[in-house]
Amino acid sequence: MDPAAAYDLWSATYDSQADNPLVAAGDQLAGELLAAIDLGGKVVVDVGCGTGRLWNLLLERAPARLLGYDVSEGMLARLRDKYPQAAAEKLDGYRLPGAPEAGCDLVISTLTLGYLADVDAALGEWSRVLRPGGDVVITDLHPDMAARGERSFVHEGRTMSIRHYVRPVAALEASAARHDLEKIRLHEPVVDDALRPIYERARAVDLFERTKGAPLLYGIHLRKRR
């Protein structure tokens, strides 16, 4: 399925799903990367914001503005239910309408980049809205794991596969460099015993055993050069 259509379908149950190992591990990784960044009084852009999964974490850090963007109107509707005053818009392409040029302090994008056909266009737009010295935090399914199979969810007993792209992390780093974004930190956590409780809660121990030792995610912190 196209990501927009897939997440429209998934939106009805997305927040009520049993523990999803990728989502749980991704939220943990995003929190670790964000811990080093001061958000107080800052302008934060969340690309692929979905239902606002990370918004409690972001809002408790007291940003001046939080702007959300997503391709799925269904996911955005859920976000607005939870955050009625949310500034959130449906994405059409890579342009971020309403984000001030060179006026944003952080762009965060979690579990989203692999769905984008043109990462270079996305990073170019994110660099455009960032002030010099602004930060980018990205997490996503690791390409080694993505190459093993599909990105999917279960809807009414059927497995629905979502179109995604498999790209080396090095290609992302090269694209970032072309847009004046330098790497500050890169994490590539593997499936190990520290993550086993997440898989147990999801009743996915078989998946844990099959993928143990493989990189599950990557998380990267970039900064726009001054």
Are residues 107 and 30 in contact, defined by beta-carbon separation less than 8 angstroms? no
Q: What is the pLDDT of residue 137?
A: 98
Looking at per-residue pLDDT, the higher value among 23 and 55 belongs to: 55
How confident is the model over 108-134, as a mean pLDDT? 97
Q: CA-to-CA distance for 161 and 172, rounded, in angstroms?
A: 24
**DSSP assignment of 31-55, as one string?**
HHHHTTS--TT-EEEEET-TTTTTH
Q: Give yes or no for residue 19 having a pLDDT over 80.
A: no
pLDDT tens for each residue of 64-102: 999 999 999 999 999 999 999 999 999 999 999 999 999
Looking at per-residue pLDDT, the higher value among 41 and 153 belongs to: 41
pLDDT tens for each residue of 154-187: 899 999 999 999 999 999 999 999 999 999 999 9
Please enumerate in sequence order all residues whose Cβ is within 8 A of that of 195, keeping only pairs 6 or more positions apart, or say none: 21, 25, 189, 208, 216
Q: What is the pLDDT of residue 179?
A: 98
Sign of the four-CA dihedral 37, 214, 109, 194: negative
- Strands 158-162, 151-155: pairing kind: antiparallel
pLDDT tens for each residue of 134-157: 999 999 999 999 988 778 888 999
Q: Lowest mean pLDDT: which of 109-123, 174-188, 197-211? A: 197-211
pLDDT tens for each residue of 55-74: 999 999 999 999 999 999 99
* Residue 203: band (very low, low, confident or very high) from pLDDT cuts 50, 70, 90: confident
Q: What is the pLDDT of residue 187?
A: 96
Are residues 23 and 59 in contact, defined by beta-carbon separation less than 8 angstroms? no
All domains of the chain in start order, with CATH: 3-224 (3.40.50.150)
Q: What is the pLDDT of residue 18?
A: 65
